[in-house]
Structures are given as C-alpha cells and as structure tokens.
Amino acid sequence: MGRGRPTLLVAALAVSLTAGCGGATSTSSATSSSTAAQQPQPAAASFDVTIAHSEVTPSNATWQAKVGQQITVRVTSDTPDELHVHSSPDHEFELAAAPNQTFSFTVDVPGSVEIELHKLDRTVATLQVQP
C-alpha cells in the first residue's frame, strides 16, 4: 500500500498541471477571437442626389447603413443649398450649384437619421443606421 500513494500523488499533480495549461490556452484563444471579430469594417455606402428646378431626387427615401460605415452622398445641384445630416454629432455640407459634389461622413449611434436640404426645406432621406 505504501507504493501506491506516491503514484496517486504524481497522477493528481499531473492532472492539476494539465488543467491549468488548458485554461490558459482557452483564455488566450478567446482573446484573439474577440480581437479578430472587431476588425472587419462595413463596406462604404453611397447614394446619389439630384437637385434640378427646385425638385429633389430622391425625396423622403429610406437608406440603410451600419454604425461606423463610411457614407458618401454624391450631389448634382443647379442651386446652392446646405445638406444637413441630423446625427450625433451633426454634419453640415455646403452645396454649390455644381455637378458631382461628394460628401462623406460616418454615424456612430444606431437609429434613424434625417438628411435634409435647408434652403429647399426638403427631406432627402432617412438613414436607418443599424448596430
């Protein structure tokens, strides 16, 4: 019986050490997995707006985007105006009477964001921002 106890003690110590190593490995894997999951950025979204003879196209549209996604609005206008993005923080862009103007921004808070023209007092679109 005296010989069995040291063998049992060595076996218990080996199991304890193996369990400790396994725990450290899984913690390390979980950390690198969550880091990798945060890296992908959503692809950019772009939308076209035309202002001609006081008519806005689109008007009252619904656009989709994700939090942190770069959003680009391309505007061709025959009159100066101000494009206002009612997000937090707000974004304001001065429009010239010119073709192919490009304005980019991101939205960091999910929800509905109104995009309006101030001088024409029109809603271009509501941007539905998803997490």
The model carries a pTM of: 0.68
Is the bond into 58 cis (omega within 30 degrees of 0)?
yes
Closest CA to 120 of 87, 90, 89, 97: 97
Ordered per-residue pLDDT tens for the chain, 131 residues: 555 555 444 444 444 444 444 433 333 333 334 444 565 667 899 999 999 999 999 999 999 999 999 999 999 999 999 999 999 899 999 999 999 999 999 999 999 999 999 999 999 999 999 99
Is the bond into 99 cis (omega within 30 degrees of 0)?
no
For 84, which DSSP code?
E
Provide the H-helix boundaries in the chain. Answer: 4-38
Residue 54 neighbours by CB under 8 Å, 6+ apart: 79, 120
